[in-house]
Amino acid sequence: MTVAQTLGVVPNQFVLEHLPNSVFPEDDEWVALVRAPEGLTVVREAPPYVEEGRWVGFYGGATAHSLDQPGMLAAIVGPLAEAHVPVFVASTYHADLVLVPDYKQEVAAAALQEAGHRILP
């Protein structure tokens, strides 16, 4: 069962970093942190000088959901997987931030719309 959602495109682009020997970044310019046994993953706003490795975010905040609502993330990443779009996900209490490589933004948006999702500019 697909759960149709309204997704906004986050106006900023992001970069992903892996800091293998860190438990916390040395600055506070991050958007999301995930600590795992192999190190720290940091999501940050892409600085202007970074041209490659940028990610674009689709955020389901317009259709916020409770934590016990099944299928919300699957409804987004399933169509992206079928369209061969890599993803990185950071979930919040109310919705999911699904990052896709910037060069795949149009393919991702088309796949999501074809699956019944609405994409806001």
pLDDT, one tens digit per residue, over 26-71 is 787 888 888 888 889 999 999 999 999 999 999 986 666 667 777 8
The crossing angle, in degrees rounded to 10, of helices 105-114 and 72-82 is 120
Q: Which fold has domain 9-115?
A: VC0802-like (3.30.2130)
Judge contact between 40 and 33, C-beta under 8 A. Answer: yes
Between 33 and 110, the higher pLDDT residue: 110
Question: Where is average pLDDT lowest: 9-13, 57-61, 101-105?
Answer: 57-61
pLDDT value of residue 112: 96
Distance CA(73)–CA(89), nearest Å, equals 9
